[in-house]
Structure formats: structure tokens, C-alpha cells
Amino acid sequence: MTATTTTATAPATTTYNTAGTVSAPLELDDVRGEYESVAVNGARRVAPKPKVTLTSLTVNNAGTLRRINSVVLPIAYSERFYKDVLDPSLDDVNKLVYYADIPVGACCSRVENVGAKPQGKPTLVVLTLAVLAPYRSQGLGTALVRHALRAALHPTTPPPPAPPATGTATRAQLTQAPPRKVINRAVVHVQVGNHEAKRFYERLGFKEDKVVDNYYTRMEPRDAWLLVCDDIAAALGETSVNGV
Ligand SMILES: CC(C)(COP(=O)(O)OP(=O)(O)OC[C@H]1O[C@@H](n2cnc3c(N)ncnc32)[C@H](O)[C@@H]1OP(=O)(O)O)[C@@H](O)C(=O)NCCC(=O)NCCS
């Protein structure tokens, strides 16, 4: 979770063609089995599992992302943050998760060159991860982060921008974003004391690198653990591509 609290006026946002950016239903069956047992009129019945899908962020569901983050996370993110996460080059990374067609969580990241100068190693920086409390411990957070890691490792071509509703657009607004480079490293800051989130990321292959003093300015404790995943491929159980 990044420390960012400034609020500014949102610049106009271009709309993008998001056809095909809703995932096929996710397989959480590895964790929970194909059916779940539920109580119906006092008797146990076996019911099909609810459909779980990931959806790209768009101007139309940005309000939903904002709502989920404001309910779950202790930081108020800026207008700039909500604009940046709609960057079309991150279309395959940043997702909302729907549980039985209800939006219940989201994960947002950005790409940075972190490390030795002048050109650090391209790194996926997880900025926010939030799942509404009643929907936790079902693998949704894991699905969101693993999806972002997989997208970083296997970048796809961003969707073409769609013309704005007004029908007129500048050439820049209609220029397709270039594909990203392969990214095999990820980092995340977790507030010191949030052991649930730390364990969660460690289970996904992140390791504590250091404590960043005073990372957060507007909440206590102010320190953050910097957790690093130095080999996304290995964390995903794929052949290591370290050194990319
Ligand atoms: C961290 C967070 C996103 C995890 O979301 P989640 O959907 O509960 O994540 P998962 O279900 O994939 O895994 C969480 C736990 O449930 C367990 N779990 C996973 N699938 C499960 C299942 N089917 N049944 C029971 N437990 C399960 C995991 O073992 C894990 O436990 P652990 O943390 O003790 O190892 C969520 O707790 C959250 O939103 N927290 C508040 C915000 C926050 O701290 N964000 C992180 C900082 S950026």
C-alpha cells in the first residue's frame, strides 16, 4: 500500500476500448473444490460456486474502485492516483474482482525502474490491494496479485483506445499504448503491524527486504515493511527468467 494522500483536480480522461478485458471465470477450485456446502432451510445442500471474474479498470468503474479502497484502506488516494491506474499500458495488470457479479476487491500497481542507476530493473510496484471483509479468505486476494504478477511477466498488447463519446479526438488520444517489457520483479509496502497482509504476500513469494522508516506520514505506525519478490516466474511456479 503506497503512501499518497494529496488531492488534486482530475484531468480529463480518455476512454479506451475495453472489449475483451473481462476475464473468463477464475478457477479458485484448486483451493476450495468445485462446489460448496450451504445451509438451506436447516438442511445442508451442495451449491455451485459463485462465478469469480476479473475486470479491467475503466472510467466507468473507477468510482467502484474508489469506493472499495475507501472502505478497506486507511489512506485516501489522490485524484492523480485514480487517473494513473487507468493507464492503458496497465490494462492487463490492474483489475477489479467480481464475486457473483458483485465488485468486492481490486489490486492496482504501476511499473517503475527500481535499482541501480541510470537504468534500474523494471519492477511492478503494488500500490493498493483491497478485498471487502465479508469476501476474504476465499482466494480472491491471491487471484488478484497472482494475476498482476502473471501479467507483468507476460505482457499483452494494450487495447486500442476508443473514440470519445463526443466523436472527436486528437491523434494522441487515439494512439495505442506500446506493449510493456517483461517484468520479473515486484515490490510492495505493507504497514508495520499488518501481519495478515505480510503473511499473505510471503505466501505469494515476497520476502521482507527492510523496514522503511516514516514511509506513511498520516497514519500510525508510520513505518512500512518493504517486501520484494525478486523472481516472479519462480513465485508463479514457472521457469525462472531472472536476469530479464
Ligand atoms: C490482504 C487481503 C487483500 C487478502 O485478501 P483475501 O481475499 O482474504 O486473500 P486470500 O483469500 O487469497 O488469502 C488470505 C488468507 O486466506 C487463506 N485462504 C486462502 N484461500 C482460502 C480458502 N479458500 N478458505 C480459507 N482460507 C483461505 C490464506 O491462507 C490466507 O491466510 P494467511 O494470510 O494466514 O496466509 C485482505 O485481507 C485485505 O483486503 N486486507 C485489508 C487491506 C490490506 O491489508 N491490504 C494489503 C496492503 S496493500
Task: Quote the longest CA-to-CA distance of the chain.
Answer: 65
Report the CATH superfamily, name and number, of domain 29-33+44-162+176-235: Gcn5-related N-acetyltransferase (GNAT) (3.40.630.30)
pLDDT at 107: 98
> Would you say residue 30 has pLDDT above 70?
no
What is the 133 CA–ligand 1 centroid distance (Å)? 10
Q: Is 186 in the pocket of ligand 1 (CB under 6 A)?
A: no
Best residue among 69, 107, 110, 142 to mutate for probing ligand 1, ranked by most atoms within 8 Å of CB: 142
Asked if the model's pLDDT at residue 8 lies above 50, the reply is: no
> For residues 192 and 198, what is the distance between their CA atoms, to the nearest angstrom?
9
pTM exceeding the 0.75 threshold for the entire prediction:
yes
CB 104 within 8 A of CB 131: yes
Q: Is the CB of 32 under 6 A from ligand 1?
A: yes
The answer to which of 130-134, 161-165, 214-218, 236-240 has the lowest mean pLDDT is 161-165
Q: Domain locations in the chain?
A: 29-33+44-162+176-235
Average pLDDT, the chain: 83
| CA nearest neighbour of 143 among 52, 48, 69 | 52
Instruction: Read off the pLDDT of residues 162-192 as tens digits, 9 standing for 90 and up.
Output: 666 676 777 776 777 777 889 999 999 999 9
Name the closest-CA residue to atom 23, ligand 1: 138
- C-beta of 138 in contact with ligand 1 (< 6 A): yes
CA 197 to mean position of chain CA atoms: 14
Q: Which band of pLDDT confidence, cut at 50, 70 and 90, is reported for residue 3?
A: confident
Q: Could you tell me the pLDDT band of residue 22, with boundaries at 50, 70 and 90?
A: confident
